[in-house]
Amino acid sequence: MDPKVLERKFCGCLLGLAVGDALGAPFEGRRSVSGSEVYAAARRRRILRYPDDTHMALGVAESLAACGGFDGRHMAETFVRNFEREPWRGYGPGPPRIFRRIKLGAPWDRAAEDIYPGGSFGNGAAMRAAPGIRSLVGSHGPGERGPGPFLEHLFREGPPLRHHGCWFGFSGPFCFGFSFGLPFGWWGTMSVEEELGLLREYQRRLEEELERVKERIRRLEGRQE
């Protein structure tokens, strides 16, 4: 794909995220919303202000661009800095607590564990996916192929133990990017058996995580009874 076309598509993803996030913010927590309600809300608002999820998605993009790839500490510090500049973006109670822990020296990939034991299981990771997907592809000229720096990090270093407190967060983009790169030989001389073995390991970890999620749901249901 032509790099200029790719950049326009990426910018369109971020714009769509910002508009959808801003329009949907008044209805957060609702199970369903009619189209007429969305139109009415849009007409009442002269300016659409994007809330926290778009704010953090922009932080992901800023950090990936500044570092030329994924740097967890830098990305966490970017989140903290952006929050301190604009804390009115509608953040829930959890992220500011995590940011404070990071400022006090907590490791960026462990700061959420005491606040969300086992994971928050929110949708924020999906809301901030667009910059990561752009980095999966990388910036290549015509005829060039190769993994982007974010995917290169995931493949060479493995996913952090926690992302949004839940291992699902990194497994999805990893498996997508890994499978996408196989036909192009991104991963060198790995045999088919080695490739399948790596994917089976991810499958095993996902199944373990799923069982933990099911157990947590059972405990929550038990408390309600």
Tell me: the pLDDT tens digits for 173-218? Answer: 566 666 666 665 655 666 777 777 777 877 787 788 778 778 878 8
Domains: count for the chain: 1
Average pLDDT of the residues in 38-63 = 90
Mean of pLDDT over the chain: 76
Range of the structural domain that residue 126 is part of:
3-224
Query: Is pLDDT larger for residue 37 or for residue 72?
Result: 37
DSSP string covering the chain, please?
Answer: --HHHHHHHHHHHHHHHHHHHHHHGGGTT-S---HHHHHHHHHH-SS----HHHHHHHHHHHHHHHHTS--HHHHHHHHHHHHHH-GGG---SHHHHHHHHHHTT--TTTTTTTTSTT----SHHHHTHHHHHHHHH----TT-----HHHHHHHHH---S-STTSTHHHHHHHHHHHHHHGGGTTTTT--HHHHHHHHHHHHHHHHHHHHHHHHHHHHHHHHH-
pLDDT digits (tens, 9 = 90+) for 84-117: 999 999 998 888 999 999 999 998 888 887 777 6
> Which pLDDT score is estimated for 79?
93
